[in-house]
Amino acid sequence: MRTSPERNARGLIWMWALLGLLAVGQAVTPSELTGQVVAIVNGDVHTVSGPLIRGGTVIITDGRITSVGENSSVPDGARVIDASGMVVTPGFMDPLTRIGLVEIGAASGTSDFVSTDDDITAAFRVGDAVNYASTLIPVTRSEGITSVGVAPVPGASIVGGQALVMDLGPGPAADMIRREPAAMVVALGELGSGLAGGSRANASARLREIISDARDYQANRGAYRSGDTRPYALSHLDLEALGPVLRGEIPVIVQANRASDIHAAIRIADELDLQLVLAGAAEGWMVAGDIAAANVPVVIDPLRNLPTFDGLAATLENGGRLEAAGVEVVFSTFDAHNVRNIKQLAGNAVAYGMTHEGALRAVTLAPAELLGVSATQGSIDVGKVGDVVVWSGDPFEFSTQVRHVFIRGQEASLETRQKELFRRYRNIGDVPPFRPPNR
């Protein structure tokens, strides 16, 4: 059916209006601090790696932390931020998000976090799809989260692909990515059984086969190229991608919630000599002693307490009980749109038994260590990247506000699309939007 020129014109007007609304908040310009010095003074500095410094000073020079202490002298010409009565922490980090890989959950065209190609599993690199102009980045950054792990979700196989670490500073993506690959994502438990043929035993057998094939390939590349090896279950791209896993350079993050699945993951990782991280672990508290004995970190959502067949014993006390047993606990939202809420998750974990220090570590240094970037971030120490947040009070209190966010030593704008839309439409009077007033 043909459309009239008038209808086409109206359609273009509405399209441009919609694009204008979506663009609000996208262009975030950080302060020009390159080559400058910033001194944050008089704040309660939580270094995370060491003791609390009351009335402390943090100095950032050329994007790096150059001084931390009680009586640090402020260099001449430095920009001084008085943090009296405020709290200073490292930037927060969520290690297992989908930021940059999804914009609208209900619109499949905006989702890039899962591969359904049987030949691209371990080789699936989410870094090639990260949208550094995502509208989710400013709203996340404005709540004190300065970096994230971006992880795929298993779709075609129990192996989902490679996770990375990126900061939420200005793009392009090459400037934001701090480590890639940072981990390999694998699903056991309920999700893994569904992808591997219907049984948890199938998923375990498949993981053993995958690692066995990858080891054989690494040892016999020449024979593989000449066609003199047995058939492998994976493509050559996937077999190559598993090299860092076999060499112990990156961990395998295994999704497992049920206590029996956690035991299976620990047993298989020991058998296959894998560097294991548990994700989910809804029933982790039930086997906390075994997790601690295996020295396996655990990534949890501390607000998960609804029972499912994959985690009937889920409880809000999971984090506290794991910490008490000596397990390294890390928090994650496992989300994209709600990563900004990770500080509320941490606060609730404290309310249900976790220590404040442990909860702060779970959103700063612990995820950085887990994903191999603790040499540059996760704590306020001399030499680390200037990812620092100034809060109006305890960051785990709901009423606390972010006052300043520094990423790579540059102050990031706290503006978001939501704030700009609020200001645009807060005073529209009695006239509906896009309609002329009645004459």
242-265 pLDDT tens trace: 999 999 999 999 999 999 999 999
- How far apart are the C-alpha atoms of 282 and 255, rounded to whole Å? 10
We report the CATH number of the domain holding residue 349 as: 3.20.20.140
Using 50, 70 and 90 to split pLDDT, how confident is the model at 435?
Answer: low
β-bridge pairing 329-331 and 159-167:
unpaired
349 found inside a domain = yes
State the pLDDT at residue 364. Answer: 98
pTM score above 0.85: yes
Phi, psi dihedral angles at 165 (to 5 degrees): -115, 130
- Give the chain's mean pLDDT: 89
43 found inside a domain = no
- How far apart are the C-alpha atoms of 79 and 85, rounded to whole Å? 19
Residues in the chain: 439
Using 50, 70 and 90 to split pLDDT, how confident is the model at 439?
Answer: low
25 found inside a domain = no
240 found inside a domain = yes
- For the ranges 106-115, 150-159, 274-283, 358-367, which has the lowest average pLDDT? 106-115
147 found inside a domain = yes
Using 50, 70 and 90 to split pLDDT, how confident is the model at 3?
Answer: very low
Q: Which of 205, 190, 311, 202 shows the shortest CA–CA distance to 268?
A: 205
86 found inside a domain = no
Domain that holds residue 225: 93-377
Q: What is the pLDDT of residues 65-105, one digit of tens each?
A: 999 999 889 999 999 999 999 999 999 999 999 999 998 87
User: Would the pLDDT of 438 be above 70?
Assistant: no
Query: What is the number of domains present in the chain?
Result: 1
User: Would the pLDDT of 134 be above 60?
Assistant: yes
As a whole number, mean pLDDT of residues 304-311 equals: 93
- How far apart are the C-alpha atoms of 401 and 391, rounded to whole Å? 6
- How far apart are the C-alpha atoms of 341 and 405, rounded to whole Å? 16
CA atoms within 13 A of residue 250's CA, in its CB half-sphere: 23
394 found inside a domain = no
Type and span of the H or E element at 258: none
User: Would the pLDDT of 6 be above 60?
Assistant: no
As a whole number, mean pLDDT of residues 325-342 equals: 97
> Residue 179: beta bridge partners?
165
Q: What's the one-letter identity of residue 169?
A: G
423 found inside a domain = no
Q: What is the pLDDT of residues 9-68, one digit of tens each?
A: 344 333 333 434 343 333 333 333 346 899 999 999 999 999 999 999 999 999 999 999
State the pLDDT at residue 106. Answer: 72
Q: Which residues contact 114 (CB under 8 A, 6 or more apart)?
A: 152, 153, 154, 155, 160
Q: Which residues contact 324 (CB under 8 A, 6 or more apart)?
A: 288, 353
As a whole number, mean pLDDT of residues 121-133 equals: 93
User: Would the pLDDT of 120 be above 80?
Assistant: yes
State the pLDDT at residue 24. Answer: 37
State the pLDDT at residue 111. Answer: 79
User: Would the pLDDT of 110 be above 80?
Assistant: no
